């Protein structure tokens, strides 16, 4: 007993969380002098984490003997503890004092009492629970009791030395199945969720092709291309349906000819360009041209947006590129069209994640596929972008996108042709003149002109007309440029008069400025965010060439300041309004551009002090650090202020010299709300005639001209 007390310290019993599972698999032979046990094997002494002695027997215990023993002690009848199936011992006394035979009373013994009984030879056999946390003993007199086990590695040796028969409960097989099912439930749910995720992500991909993923929508289809494949071309677009870009069509005719007659080029050793990049502002017909190439050549057409290649998971974009080109090679000769290629074709190494993100893997795969053709496979790649400045240089080298075809805004004749195309199927009035409409829409793209004709048709239907007249087209043009009319807006007479003077100031200065754009219309009808508008007709030559003289830019600033000048002269400097805030922003932008980018400053010289923003269709670039010192920046600011002040003085001199025309124009606007350029011309001619009558020559030369 002394030895056992040393081996089983109190803290090991009181700290059950430190118990561990131990399995004894070896068979031990008892001492010869005991003569009780011959041999036992496969004994398991299991100890698990428990919080204390359990008042009930575990369900893992084996069934009890058929003859449950009834103990009579101290005049009380107690049911012997049962293993599985018998009533639990929740109400049984946990411990009892020893009887006359030296055995403890009760159905639950202390561990020390159990060890004493074993060493005294008063325990015949024990049955361990499956989890090893407790055992059921059978004493030599037939009584049974429950013992909660501590973590004692010597227990099996003690039992074997004292000839105690040892067995382990087989447990509840049904409980084992339930436990196994519970352990497998969460992995099964997680796997099912991932399967559904991949299935949804793969919907619509793969082009209907089977394979490892089990066809369309399978998990393995997640990385397949989402290209819209047409084995038999159904674009329905021919070159005669594409107008306003004759030069681009001429360049693409060679691509069509190669697809139709490849031997014509291969016999001479010529290699057709593998790719063509269509560059131009939005709405100029790049996608339509690609469809027309496929329609003319009669070959399969693959089309996809570059943004479809990139997904959440790394490697999906490269996989989709490979899948797309595999399909194309199987259907060669054919055309692959990638729209908005700048989504994946941007310069590499500029990513926020260190330059090795999903987009860069996609572009690397695209570069490999384009330059990895073995011989002439007949696959031609067409791509479209309005941001050629951000594309990776490796995309633009020979062998990939050999040609860059610019699809620019159409000129007057191109706009006339586009208007004729988009007027098909529409009933037009006899007063509709495509030439005049084209001259009133400089800078419009094909998409803008299509929208113009559609808006005109909607207005005609809204007005219950049987045909589209020039009035509907004019109203649709103003709606597109300035927004819809605010017919429900109520303007006071005072505000209406102020807006009339403001717009008359713009129109008057614009009409009197030499070599400036002619006035086409003046309106004080609110549209969008504007209370009034003055329309000018930009020069077609300047728009096409993109060349603007210094005098033209200075005139433009003076015209923009004409509204504020009129307010100041009529209402005084203390009563001017915020209506000219947008004009000031435009003037400041033009003036700063003249000084810092175009070298129009005599003091600072012909130096560009800030980077140019590039072509108008290339979009805004990221802000660049200043290229000049603080002193130079101060000098630029002073030059900007000086050039703006000079433009303001010019505008003020013109309005003061023709104040009568300003009043007359304002009165006419108050009466009609909208007047044309011809009405303003009549007012100026009348004022000029009066000046001739009063003096030998007019005080102001009037270079006014109307729009064509």
Q: Which residues are part of the catalytic machinery?
A: 503
Tokens in use for 448? 């803008």
Q: How far apart are CA 524 and CA 499, in angstroms?
A: 6
CA-closest candidate to residue 280, choices 396, 428, 384: 384
Contact criterion met (CB below 8 Å) for 515 and 685: no
Burial of 2 (0-12, 13-18, 19+ CB in 10 A): exposed
CB atoms within 10 A of CB 122: 17
Helix segments in 15-121, DSSP class H: 111-119
Q: How far apart are CA 652 and CA 313, in angstroms?
A: 63
Please give the C-alpha separations between residue 476 and each of 521, 587, 708, in angstroms, as whole numbers. 14, 28, 19
Contact criterion met (CB below 8 Å) for 600 and 550: yes
Q: How far apart are CA 204 and CA 215, in angstroms?
A: 11
Query: 3-class DSSP state for residue 687?
Result: helix
- What is the Cα 458 distance to its own chain's centre? 34
Please give the C-alpha separations between residue 689 and each of 176, 193, 611, 664, 684, in angstroms, as whole numbers. 112, 86, 50, 15, 9
Burial of 468 (0-12, 13-18, 19+ CB in 10 A): buried
CA-closest candidate to residue 565, choices 641, 629, 480, 658: 658
Query: 3-class DSSP state for residue 264?
Result: helix
Tokens in use for 276? 């063509």
Q: For the chain, state the CA radius of gyration.
A: 47
Q: How far apart are CA 665 and CA 511, in angstroms?
A: 12
Q: How far apart are CA 162 and CA 504, in angstroms?
A: 120
Tokens in use for 598? 């175009």
Contact criterion met (CB below 8 Å) for 202 and 221: yes
- 74 Rama sector, left if φ>0, alpha if ψ -120 to 50, beta otherwise: left
Burial of 133 (0-12, 13-18, 19+ CB in 10 A): buried
Q: How far apart are CA 235 and CA 317, in angstroms?
A: 26
Tokens in use for 601? 């400053």
Strand order in the sheet with 134-139: 108-109, 144-148, 134-139, 123-128, 165-168
Task: Give counts: helices (H), strands (E), the chain.
Answer: 22, 16
């Amino acid at each position: 007993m002394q030895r056992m007390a040393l081996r089983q310290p109190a803290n090991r019993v009181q700290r059950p969380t430190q118990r561990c599972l131990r399995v004894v698999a070896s068979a031990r032979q008892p001492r010869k002098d005991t003569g009780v046990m011959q041999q036992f094997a496969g004994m398991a002494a299991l100890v698990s984490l428990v919080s204390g002695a359990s008042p009930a027997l575990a369900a893992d215990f084996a069934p009890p003997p058929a003859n449950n023993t009834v103990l009579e002690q101290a005049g009380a009848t107690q049911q012997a503890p049962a293993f599985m199936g018998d009533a639990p011992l929740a109400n049984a006394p946990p411990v009892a004092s020893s009887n006359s035979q030296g055995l403890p009373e009760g159905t639950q013994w202390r561990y020390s009492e159990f060890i004493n009984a074993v060493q005294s030879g008063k325990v015949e056999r024990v049955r361990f629970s499956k989890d090893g946390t407790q055992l059921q003993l059978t004493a030599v007199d037939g009584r049974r009791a429950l013992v909660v086990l501590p973590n004692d590695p010597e227990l099996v040796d003690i039992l074997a030395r004292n000839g105690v028969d040892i067995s382990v409960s087989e447990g509840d097989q049904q409980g084992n199945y339930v436990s196994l099912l519970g352990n497998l439930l969460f992995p099964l749910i997680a796997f099912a969720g991932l399967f559904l995720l991949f299935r949804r992500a793969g919907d619509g991909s793969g082009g209907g092709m089977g394979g490892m993923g089990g066809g369309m929508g399978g998990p393995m289809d997640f990385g397949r291309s989402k290209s819209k494949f047409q084995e038999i071309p159904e674009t329905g677009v021919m070159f005669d349906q594409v107008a306003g870009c004759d030069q681009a069509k001429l360049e693409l005719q060679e691509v069509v000819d190669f697809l139709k007659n490849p031997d014509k080029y291969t016999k001479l050793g010529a290699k057709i360009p593998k790719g063509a990049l269509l560059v131009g502002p939005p709405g100029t017909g790049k996608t339509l041209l690609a469809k027309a190439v496929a329609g003319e050549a009669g070959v399969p057409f693959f089309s996809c947006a570059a943004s479809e290649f990139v997904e959440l998971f790394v490697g999906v974009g490269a996989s989709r590129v490979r899948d797309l080109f595999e399909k194309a090679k199987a259907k060669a000769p054919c055309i692959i069209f990638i729209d908005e290629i700048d989504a994946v074709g941007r310069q590499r190494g500029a990513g926020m994640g260190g330059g090795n993100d999903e987009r860069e893997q996609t572009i690397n795969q695209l570069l490999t596929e384009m330059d990895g053709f073995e011989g002439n496979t007949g696959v031609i790649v067409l791509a479209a972008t309005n941001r050629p400045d951000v594309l990776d240089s490796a995309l633009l080298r020979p062998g990939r996108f050999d040609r860059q075809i610019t699809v620019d805004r159409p000129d007057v004749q191109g706009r006339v042709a586009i208007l004729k195309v988009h007027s098909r199927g529409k009933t037009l009035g006899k007063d509709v003149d495509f030439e005049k409409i084209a001259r009133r829409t400089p800078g419009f793209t094909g998409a803008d002109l299509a929208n113009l004709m559609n808006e005109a048709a909607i207005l005609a239907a809204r007005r219950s007309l049987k045909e589209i007249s020039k009035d509907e087209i004019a109203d649709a043009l103003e709606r597109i440029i300035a927004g819809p009319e605010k017919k429900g807006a109520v303007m006071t007479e005072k505000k209406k008069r102020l807006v009339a003077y403001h717009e008359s100031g713009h129109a008057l200065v614009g009409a009197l400025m030499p070599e400036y754009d002619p006035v086409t219309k003046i309106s004080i009808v609110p549209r969008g965010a504007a209370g009034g508008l003055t329309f000018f007709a930009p020069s077609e030559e300047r728009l096409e060439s993109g060349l603007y003289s210094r005098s033209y830019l200075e005139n433009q600033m003076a015209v923009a300041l004409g509204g504020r000048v009129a307010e100041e002269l009529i209402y005084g400097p203390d009563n001017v309004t915020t209506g000219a805030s947008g004009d000031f922003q435009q003037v400041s932008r033009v003036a700063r551009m003249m000084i810092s980018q175009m070298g129009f400053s005599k003091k600072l010289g012909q130096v560009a002090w800030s980077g140019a923003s590039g072509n108008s269709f290339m979009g805004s670039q990221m802000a660049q650090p200043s290229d000049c010192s603080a002193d130079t920046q101060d000098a630029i600011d002073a030059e900007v202020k000086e050039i703006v002040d000079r433009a303001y003085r010019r505008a003020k001199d013109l309005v003061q010299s023709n104040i009568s025309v300003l009043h007359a124009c304002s009165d006419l606007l108050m009466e009609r709300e909208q007047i044309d350029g011809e009405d303003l011309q009549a007012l100026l001619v009348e004022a000029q005639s009066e000046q001739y009558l009063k003096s030998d020559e007019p005080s102001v030369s009037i270079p006014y001209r109307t729009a064509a």
